Amino acid sequence: MTKTNQHLLGKIALVTGGSRGVGRDIALRLAEAGADVILTYRAQAEAAQAVAHEIRRGERRAEILPVDLDGIGEVDAFAATVGGVLEAWGADGLDMLVNNAGVGAYETLGSITEEGFDRIVNTNYKSVVFLTQALLPRMNDGGRIIGIGSGLSRFSMAGYAVYGSMKAALERFMAYLALELGPRGITANAISPGALATDFNAAALEQNPGLRDFIGSVTALGRMGEANDIGAAVAMLCSPAGAWITGQRIEVSGGMFL
């Protein structure tokens, strides 16, 4: 991890799902800018430890916390644990909350089950609402809240009806957050990626050899996105340059399906 302009020095970020892919890059980008980072993982403890090690090598503090965000059963206990980390660090509160943890699903309307539906809704939307609610008392005024939406809330592809519509709900939730939290100077925005060449989509890319080329052909900038494209956008919103941006859905897709 290289040091850049450390405009977030002294700030603290919480990134859910920070052990791999987009979450990993977001955590590292914020640390490069000077932030101390709390990151969560569900199952991949070793990967999360590796991210924390890289952050600490850059002389920033890092803490990894396990949490299962398939619903809200662990939310209150997790928020209390976050409070303990903040106290141990001598911090007043969180400055950035990045709701990145989520699950994908390719399910046609003819095959979706109630169990599958609930898993998508619980992780991608319900847990975001109630985790944000639980952490608001620990958010500093002037802070930043970011949700990770999806290009699939704007354009449609078969098999993603439930996933795409839940991401649309998340994006609108961020606008409502912006309205309610404006008096505290807290901004809230959604970053909505297009198709990404990350392990999140690895199986689809492996099973469909022509998929990468197809995505490039329908994208103005001619390629799939990478995790660092999203991490850079999140870091911008958390920087002084993002101070007057709130309530927005910002698509980071290279111009997919224009």
Mean pLDDT of 216-240: 96
Residue ranges of domains in the chain, CATH in brackets: 12-252 (3.40.50.720)
Q: Residue 191 and residue 147: Cα distance in Å, rounded?
A: 6
- Residue 258: CB atoms within 10 A of its CB come to 9
Q: Residue 150 and residue 111: Cα distance in Å, rounded?
A: 22
Mean pLDDT over the full length of the chain = 94
Which pLDDT score is estimated for 105? 76
The yes-or-no answer on residue 163 being catalytic is yes
Is residue 198 over pLDDT 80?
no
pLDDT tier, 212 (very low <50, low <70, confident <90, very high otherwise): confident
Question: Strand 94-99 to strand 249-252: parallel, antiparallel, or no bridges (unpaired)?
Answer: unpaired
DSSP 8-state code for residue 196: B
Q: Residue 113 and residue 54: Cα distance in Å, rounded?
A: 40
Burial of 103 (0-12, 13-18, 19+ CB in 10 A): middle
Q: Return phi, psi of residue 226, to 5°.
A: -120, 160
| Structure confidence by residue, pLDDT tens digits, 36-76 | 999 999 999 999 999 999 999 999 999 999 999 999 999 99
In 100-226, alpha helices (H): 114-121, 127-135, 161-181, 202-207, 211-217
Which pLDDT score is estimated for 201? 59
Strands (E), the chain: 12-15, 36-41, 62-66, 94-99, 139-148, 187-193, 249-252
Mean pLDDT of 107-129: 93
Active-site option among 106, 125, 163, 176: 163
Which pLDDT score is estimated for 121? 95
| Structure confidence by residue, pLDDT tens digits, 167-178 | 999 999 999 999
